[in-house]
Amino acid sequence: MRKENKLTKVAIFALLIAIVAIVLVSGTYARYTTNLTGTDSVQIAKWAWNISGDDIDAETTEYTLDLFSTIKDTATYGTTNEAHVIDGKIAPGTTGAFDIQITNKSEVDAEYSVTFGEENPLRAAIEYSTDGGKTWGNVAVLDVTTTAIAQNETVTVPIQWRWAFTAEGNAAAQVDRNNADTLVGFGDPADQHVTVTATLQLDQVN
Protein backbone atom coordinates (compact mmCIF):
# COMPACT_ATOMS: atom_id res chain seq x y z
CA MET A 1 0.00 0.00 0.00
CA ARG A 2 2.82 2.34 0.94
CA LYS A 3 4.58 1.54 -2.28
CA GLU A 4 1.46 2.44 -4.26
CA ASN A 5 1.07 5.76 -2.35
CA LYS A 6 4.67 6.57 -3.06
CA LEU A 7 4.21 5.85 -6.74
CA THR A 8 1.07 7.97 -6.78
CA LYS A 9 2.90 10.91 -5.22
CA VAL A 10 5.72 10.54 -7.70
CA ALA A 11 3.24 10.46 -10.56
CA ILE A 12 1.42 13.54 -9.27
CA PHE A 13 4.70 15.41 -8.81
CA ALA A 14 5.82 14.45 -12.29
CA LEU A 15 2.47 15.62 -13.65
CA LEU A 16 2.80 18.99 -11.92
CA ILE A 17 6.29 19.44 -13.32
CA ALA A 18 4.97 18.63 -16.79
CA ILE A 19 2.14 21.11 -16.44
CA VAL A 20 4.52 23.87 -15.28
CA ALA A 21 6.85 23.09 -18.14
CA ILE A 22 4.00 23.26 -20.62
CA VAL A 23 2.89 26.64 -19.24
CA LEU A 24 6.39 28.02 -19.42
CA VAL A 25 6.97 26.77 -22.93
CA SER A 26 3.60 27.99 -24.16
CA GLY A 27 4.19 31.40 -22.55
CA THR A 28 7.52 31.71 -24.28
CA TYR A 29 6.76 30.36 -27.73
CA ALA A 30 3.00 30.36 -28.21
CA ARG A 31 1.89 34.03 -28.26
CA TYR A 32 1.99 37.10 -30.52
CA THR A 33 3.79 40.15 -29.14
CA THR A 34 4.62 43.55 -30.63
CA ASN A 35 6.43 46.60 -29.20
CA LEU A 36 6.46 49.82 -31.24
CA THR A 37 7.72 53.37 -30.62
CA GLY A 38 6.79 56.37 -32.76
CA THR A 39 8.70 59.67 -32.57
CA ASP A 40 8.23 63.04 -34.28
CA SER A 41 9.66 66.48 -33.65
CA VAL A 42 9.05 70.00 -34.91
CA GLN A 43 10.74 73.35 -34.33
CA ILE A 44 8.85 76.28 -32.80
CA ALA A 45 8.63 79.44 -34.91
CA LYS A 46 10.56 82.28 -33.33
CA TRP A 47 9.07 85.62 -32.25
CA ALA A 48 11.67 88.34 -32.83
CA TRP A 49 11.59 92.07 -33.53
CA ASN A 50 13.91 95.00 -34.10
CA ILE A 51 12.63 98.45 -33.20
CA SER A 52 14.59 101.42 -34.55
CA GLY A 53 17.84 99.45 -34.61
CA ASP A 54 17.43 97.65 -31.29
CA ASP A 55 16.60 93.95 -30.99
CA ILE A 56 14.00 93.25 -28.32
CA ASP A 57 13.51 90.18 -26.17
CA ALA A 58 11.00 88.80 -23.68
CA GLU A 59 12.24 91.20 -21.01
CA THR A 60 12.01 94.32 -23.17
CA THR A 61 9.31 96.78 -22.08
CA GLU A 62 10.61 100.01 -23.60
CA TYR A 63 12.20 101.18 -26.84
CA THR A 64 13.99 104.30 -27.97
CA LEU A 65 11.84 107.24 -29.05
CA ASP A 66 14.19 110.11 -29.87
CA LEU A 67 11.51 112.53 -30.95
CA PHE A 68 13.10 115.55 -29.31
CA SER A 69 16.73 114.55 -29.64
CA THR A 70 17.35 116.89 -32.59
CA ILE A 71 15.63 120.27 -32.41
CA LYS A 72 15.46 122.19 -35.65
CA ASP A 73 14.46 125.72 -36.68
CA THR A 74 11.06 126.24 -38.29
CA ALA A 75 12.45 129.27 -40.11
CA THR A 76 14.46 126.92 -42.29
CA TYR A 77 11.64 124.35 -42.46
CA GLY A 78 13.52 122.02 -40.17
CA THR A 79 16.67 121.78 -42.28
CA THR A 80 19.04 123.39 -39.74
CA ASN A 81 19.49 123.04 -36.01
CA GLU A 82 17.85 125.63 -33.79
CA ALA A 83 20.53 128.19 -32.93
CA HIS A 84 18.48 130.63 -30.86
CA VAL A 85 17.20 128.32 -28.09
CA ILE A 86 19.28 126.64 -25.42
CA ASP A 87 20.22 123.06 -26.28
CA GLY A 88 17.74 120.41 -25.25
CA LYS A 89 14.76 122.75 -24.89
CA ILE A 90 11.96 123.83 -27.18
CA ALA A 91 10.21 127.15 -27.75
CA PRO A 92 8.02 128.72 -30.41
CA GLY A 93 9.79 128.32 -33.74
CA THR A 94 11.24 124.85 -33.09
CA THR A 95 10.52 121.59 -34.84
CA GLY A 96 11.83 118.03 -35.09
CA ALA A 97 11.17 114.56 -36.44
CA PHE A 98 11.80 110.90 -35.75
CA ASP A 99 11.04 107.66 -37.59
CA ILE A 100 10.01 104.54 -35.70
CA GLN A 101 11.31 101.59 -37.70
CA ILE A 102 9.64 98.25 -37.05
CA THR A 103 11.23 95.07 -38.41
CA ASN A 104 9.46 91.73 -38.12
CA LYS A 105 12.30 89.22 -37.65
CA SER A 106 9.81 86.57 -36.57
CA GLU A 107 8.98 83.39 -38.43
CA VAL A 108 5.30 84.30 -38.42
CA ASP A 109 3.26 87.04 -40.03
CA ALA A 110 2.05 89.70 -37.63
CA GLU A 111 0.32 93.02 -37.25
CA TYR A 112 1.21 96.20 -35.40
CA SER A 113 -0.43 99.32 -34.08
CA VAL A 114 0.91 102.46 -32.43
CA THR A 115 -0.99 104.61 -29.96
CA PHE A 116 0.41 108.01 -29.01
CA GLY A 117 -0.14 110.05 -25.88
CA GLU A 118 1.02 113.45 -24.74
CA GLU A 119 1.69 115.00 -21.34
CA ASN A 120 1.63 118.76 -21.81
CA PRO A 121 0.65 120.48 -18.53
CA LEU A 122 0.89 124.04 -19.83
CA ARG A 123 -0.74 123.15 -23.15
CA ALA A 124 2.11 124.41 -25.29
CA ALA A 125 0.91 124.69 -28.88
CA ILE A 126 2.72 121.59 -30.16
CA GLU A 127 1.39 120.14 -33.41
CA TYR A 128 2.13 116.80 -35.05
CA SER A 129 2.27 115.43 -38.58
CA THR A 130 2.76 112.06 -40.28
CA ASP A 131 2.78 113.25 -43.88
CA GLY A 132 5.91 115.37 -43.98
CA GLY A 133 4.22 118.49 -42.64
CA LYS A 134 1.41 118.74 -45.17
CA THR A 135 -1.20 118.53 -42.42
CA TRP A 136 -0.88 119.14 -38.69
CA GLY A 137 -2.96 118.21 -35.68
CA ASN A 138 -2.84 117.08 -32.07
CA VAL A 139 -0.97 113.97 -30.98
CA ALA A 140 -3.87 111.70 -31.92
CA VAL A 141 -3.12 112.19 -35.64
CA LEU A 142 -0.02 110.05 -35.12
CA ASP A 143 -1.95 106.91 -34.14
CA VAL A 144 -1.44 103.92 -36.42
CA THR A 145 -4.35 101.49 -36.55
CA THR A 146 -3.78 97.75 -36.78
CA THR A 147 -1.65 97.10 -39.88
CA ALA A 148 -0.23 93.87 -41.32
CA ILE A 149 3.53 93.27 -41.31
CA ALA A 150 4.96 90.19 -43.01
CA GLN A 151 7.98 88.12 -42.03
CA ASN A 152 11.27 90.01 -42.63
CA GLU A 153 9.35 93.19 -43.49
CA THR A 154 10.38 96.63 -42.22
CA VAL A 155 7.92 99.50 -41.92
CA THR A 156 8.53 103.10 -40.98
CA VAL A 157 6.25 105.23 -38.82
CA PRO A 158 7.22 108.89 -39.45
CA ILE A 159 6.62 111.46 -36.72
CA GLN A 160 7.09 115.20 -37.05
CA TRP A 161 6.37 117.93 -34.50
CA ARG A 162 6.50 121.69 -34.45
CA TRP A 163 5.82 124.65 -32.20
CA ALA A 164 4.84 127.13 -34.86
CA PHE A 165 6.32 130.61 -34.60
CA THR A 166 3.42 132.15 -36.45
CA ALA A 167 -0.29 131.42 -36.26
CA GLU A 168 -2.47 130.69 -39.22
CA GLY A 169 -5.12 133.32 -39.79
CA ASN A 170 -5.30 137.05 -39.24
CA ALA A 171 -3.36 139.41 -36.99
CA ALA A 172 -5.74 138.78 -34.10
CA ALA A 173 -4.95 135.07 -34.25
CA GLN A 174 -1.25 135.89 -34.07
CA VAL A 175 -1.78 138.07 -31.01
CA ASP A 176 -3.71 135.28 -29.30
CA ARG A 177 -0.96 132.79 -30.13
CA ASN A 178 1.75 135.12 -28.82
CA ASN A 179 -0.13 135.65 -25.56
CA ALA A 180 -0.70 131.92 -25.06
CA ASP A 181 2.93 131.09 -25.80
CA THR A 182 4.11 133.80 -23.40
CA LEU A 183 2.02 132.32 -20.56
CA VAL A 184 3.68 128.95 -21.22
CA GLY A 185 7.11 130.61 -21.05
CA PHE A 186 6.24 132.19 -17.70
CA GLY A 187 4.78 128.92 -16.38
CA ASP A 188 5.84 126.87 -13.38
CA PRO A 189 9.17 125.23 -14.26
CA ALA A 190 7.84 121.94 -12.87
CA ASP A 191 5.19 122.01 -15.60
CA GLN A 192 7.37 123.27 -18.43
CA HIS A 193 7.74 119.98 -20.25
CA VAL A 194 6.15 118.01 -23.05
CA THR A 195 6.30 114.21 -22.93
CA VAL A 196 5.18 112.04 -25.83
CA THR A 197 4.61 108.30 -25.44
CA ALA A 198 4.21 105.88 -28.32
CA THR A 199 2.80 102.50 -27.28
CA LEU A 200 3.66 99.83 -29.83
CA GLN A 201 1.50 96.69 -29.98
CA LEU A 202 2.79 93.64 -31.86
CA ASP A 203 0.59 90.58 -32.41
CA GLN A 204 0.83 87.35 -34.38
CA VAL A 205 -1.91 86.86 -36.95
CA ASN A 206 -3.83 83.61 -36.99
Q: Cα(first)–Cα(last) distance of the chain, in Å?
A: 92
Number of domains in the chain: 2
pLDDT at 17 over 70: yes
pLDDT digits (tens, 9 = 90+) for 73-86: 998 888 999 999 99
Range of the domain at 24: 1-32
Q: Please indicate, yes or no, if residue 130 is contained in any of the structural domains.
A: yes
Q: Give backbone dihedrals phi and psi of 96, rounded to 5 degrees, phi first.
A: -175, 175
Q: Which residues contact 164 (CB under 8 A, 6 or more apart)?
A: 74, 92, 93, 125, 127, 177
**10 Å Cβ neighbour count for 79?**
9
Q: What is the pLDDT of residue 153?
A: 98
**Per-position b or e across 27-54, b if 16+ CB within 10 A of its CB:** eeeeeeeeeeeeeeeeeeeebebebbee
**Residue 30: pLDDT band by 50, 70, 90 thresholds?**
low
**Residue 144: pLDDT band by 50, 70, 90 thresholds?**
very high
Mean pLDDT of the 50-75 span: 93
Q: What is the pLDDT of residue 187?
A: 97
Q: What is the pLDDT of residue 170?
A: 86
More confident residue, 107 or 70: 107
Does residue 169 share a domain with residue 197?
A: yes
Q: Please indicate, yes or no, if residue 168 is contained in any of the structural domains.
A: yes
pLDDT at 68 over 60: yes
Does residue 146 share a domain with residue 81?
A: yes
More confident residue, 27 or 95: 95
Mean pLDDT of the 189-202 span: 97
Distance separating alpha carbons of residues 175 and 180, to the nearest angstrom? 9
Does residue 188 share a domain with residue 124?
A: yes
Does residue 82 share a domain with residue 5?
A: no
Q: Please indicate, yes or no, if residue 43 is contained in any of the structural domains.
A: no
Q: Please indicate, yes or no, if residue 40 is contained in any of the structural domains.
A: no
